Amino acid sequence: MKSTGTLSVTNVSKKFRVNNNEIHVLDNINLSVKAGEFISIIGLSGCGKTTLLRLIVGLESDYEGDILLDGRKLNGPSLDRGIVFQDHRLFPWLTVEKNIGLGIVGKSDTEKKEIVNNHIELVGLKGFEKSYPYQLSGGMSQRAAIARSLVNQPEILLLDEPLGALDALTRMYMHKELERIWKKENITMIMVTHDVEEALYLSDKIVVMSARPGKLQKIIPVPLARPRDRASVEFAEMKEKVLEEFMLHTEPHFTYTI
Amino acid sequence: MLSKFLLLAGIVHSQKNKIMSFLSVRGNKYLPIKVLEGTLLPGTIFVIWLICSRLNILSKDFFPSPGDVVNGFHEVLNDGSFLDNLGMSVIRVLKGFLLGSTVGFVIGITLGMSRFLEKLITPIFNAIRQVPLPAWAPLLVLVSLGEMSRVLFIAIGACYPVVLNTFEGVKNVRNDYVEVGKVFKFNRVQRFFKIILPSSFPSTLTGLRLSLSISWMLVVAAEIFMTSGGGIGEMMWACREYSRMDLVVVCIIAIALVGFTMNFFMQKMEMFFSFWRLTLKQSR
């Protein structure tokens, strides 16, 4: 187990000012993530889960409370934190390999080439090095985006609904891939999603958030063995437990015995 | 007979896509069809011109017949000064275009990158832009009586479209891409060369294309307003003075052809460099 990649969020609140109105987006969030953990944050839209992610990556600032990575306070974006956005955000004017190599700094050309090749292999895009983003499918674009975010070997990877735009089958396939990459890279991952099954399949812990203002409703550990079986009884029970938080679980039928 | 023709026309129309795809090579239209489509209108105009001059609807003194113009072409091509003049104009245009578009590019980038400078410069720029170009001529003659004034005249006109399109391109760079740069800790130079410049380049190219065709129009005006430097515009004006309307039309046709060629190459270049944006549009 690596010692780097622990994250602690303490008493974090965030307000936005829109036309002189203060909007409370996050209210007193407390969360601690161990090194190498896979955490999912789920919640209805507008609950501030993306804002929380943007705070952690450093794209938003001006918040109350503390966010510490390995005990150090965050100060803007840094190469030790990578992010995969919902829309892949690959640069359309660059090929796949150039997109992936975009963020590599302080490396010689040969080293850079090797890093890019390794990551292309990691995400399974061999043969598409010279393709442009418009020639890729949604799933392939997201693979390239994942590779791009990993080139600097971040301690923590943040995923903002990375598979939200993919079709159901591709998404299930990407769950497997994401789990494989997470194990291979041995890093901390925090994923925002609104797909309960996705969260259950991948996470060690599921963080449920409630909306307006965004509050931490419950942290649900997922003690299921990996690789997880979506059809198992345990999986179904866990799913009910999570859905209960959203009042979406199936009510037990009325039964009686003599 | 008519009904059969209509039926046939209907079939041809309904199968248009199939017929076109049969005639096409890799998505491009079959070349003869493309040429036919492109020459249909000019051909018609030519035929009308021919008929009008044959029937003496157009007075020979004011408007030459196609035959006169063909003879005129023979005359000027044998003379040699015609191509010299054309060449002088092309070089003049390139000088003015390079100067104007370079300055325009720098101004456009500056306005796009700095909100302060945008506020500072935009009002003056918009005011200056309203001045009709010929109004600059008297001032430019004060600057220089020679080639410089003509080049500057073209440069002023060439500058505007590049400024506007470059500025537009930089302003429209998606914040999403800028954020990717932030995550990778790009500095200002990296942000400019890796995100802003490539992202706005297609728009800049549109500006350059407009700029070049405006430059080519302006060279004729420059040579008429600020004479004795040679060039196709001056030659045309001289021909008018001698009432050689056939040669005037020769000059007009030559100007149109050169302009068309320039625009064609700029369009190709635009498509070449902004392939990713064009395909983005097509896929939508």
Structural domain contains residue B218: yes
Looking at the complex, report in whole angstroms how far the Cα of residue A15 sits from the nearest Cα belonging to chain B. 20
* Residue-by-residue DSSP string for B5-45: HHHHHHHHHHTHHHHHHHH-BTTBPPHHHHHHHHHHHHHHH
C-alpha angle B63-B68-B72 in degrees, rounded to nearest 5: 110
DSSP state of A224: P
Amino acid A1: pLDDT: 45
Rounded Cα gap, residues B195 and A29, in angstroms: 34
Condensed to tens digits (0 to 9), the pLDDT of residues B113-166 reads 988 999 998 899 889 988 888 888 888 878 777 888 889 999 999 999 999 999
- List chain A residues with CB under 8 Å of B280: 92, 134
B142-to-B20, B139, B149, B157, B159 alpha-carbon distances in Å: 59, 5, 8, 18, 21
Amino acid A6: pLDDT: 83
Tell me how many helices (H) and strands (E) chain A has: 7, 10
ipTM of the complex: 0.85
- Domain positions in chain A: 81-153
Picking from A85, A103, A133, the nearest residue to B184 by CB comes out as A103
Structural domain contains residue B53: no
Here the CATH number for the domain that contains residue B243 is 1.10.3720.10
Q: CB–CB of B104/B189 below 8 Å?
A: no
- Strands (DSSP E) contained in B134-209 are none
- List chain A residues with CB under 8 Å of B184: 77, 79, 102-103, 105, 152
Mutation for testing the B interface, residue in A93, A115, A130 having most B CBs under 10 Å: A93
- Tell me the residue range of the domain where B274 lies: 88-283
Radius of gyration of chain B (CA): 24
Amino acid B284: pLDDT: 39
Picking from A91, A105, A134, the nearest residue to B279 by CB comes out as A134
Amino acid B4: pLDDT: 65
CB contact under 8 A, A78 and B185: yes
More confident site: B30 or B104? B104
CB contact under 8 A, B194 and A87: no
Picking from A81, A89, A93, the nearest residue to B198 by CB comes out as A93
B85-to-B232, B239, B244 alpha-carbon distances in Å: 5, 13, 17
Structural domain contains residue B247: yes
Which percentage of chain A shows pLDDT scores above 90? 14
More confident site: A75 or B192? B192
Band of pLDDT at residue B106, cut at 50, 70 and 90: very high
The SS3 of residue A216 is strand
Check pLDDT > 90 for residue A245: no
In the predicted model, what is the mean pLDDT of chain B? 84
- Determine the residue of chain A that is closest to B279 in CA distance: A134
CB contact under 8 A, B185 and A134: no
Structural domain contains residue B200: yes
Looking at the complex, report in whole angstroms how far the Cα of residue A102 sits from the nearest Cα belonging to chain B. 8
Condensed to tens digits (0 to 9), the pLDDT of residues B213-246 reads 999 999 988 888 877 778 888 888 888 888 888 8
CB contact under 8 A, B194 and A102: yes
- List chain B residues with CB under 8 Å of A89: 176-177, 179-180
Q: What is the mean pLDDT of residues A94-112?
A: 87
Check pLDDT > 60 for residue A150: yes
Number of domains composing chain B? 1
Which percentage of chain A shows pLDDT scores above 70? 96
Picking from A82, A89, A149, the nearest residue to B177 by CB comes out as A89
- Determine the residue of chain A that is closest to B178 in CA distance: A89
Band of pLDDT at residue B193, cut at 50, 70 and 90: very high
Structural domain contains residue B38: no
> Count of residues for chain A?
258
In the predicted model, what is the mean pLDDT of chain A? 85
Amino acid B283: pLDDT: 45
Lowest model confidence (mean pLDDT) among A163-172, B52-61, B69-78, B197-206: B52-61
CB contact under 8 A, B277 and A92: yes
Rounded Cα gap, residues A42 and A50, in angstroms: 10
Rounded to the nearest 10°, the torsion over CA B142, B146, B152, B153 is: 80
Q: What is the mean pLDDT of residues B209-215?
A: 93
A88, two tokens: 């892949």
Strands A38-43 and A215-221 come out as unpaired
Check pLDDT > 90 for residue B197: yes
Rounded Cα gap, residues B101 and B207, in angstroms: 9
Condensed to tens digits (0 to 9), the pLDDT of residues A171-211 reads 888 888 889 888 888 889 999 998 888 999 999 999 998 87
Check pLDDT > 60 for residue B24: no
Check pLDDT > 80 for residue B12: no
Amino acid B25: pLDDT: 47
Whose structure tokens read 């996050």? A26
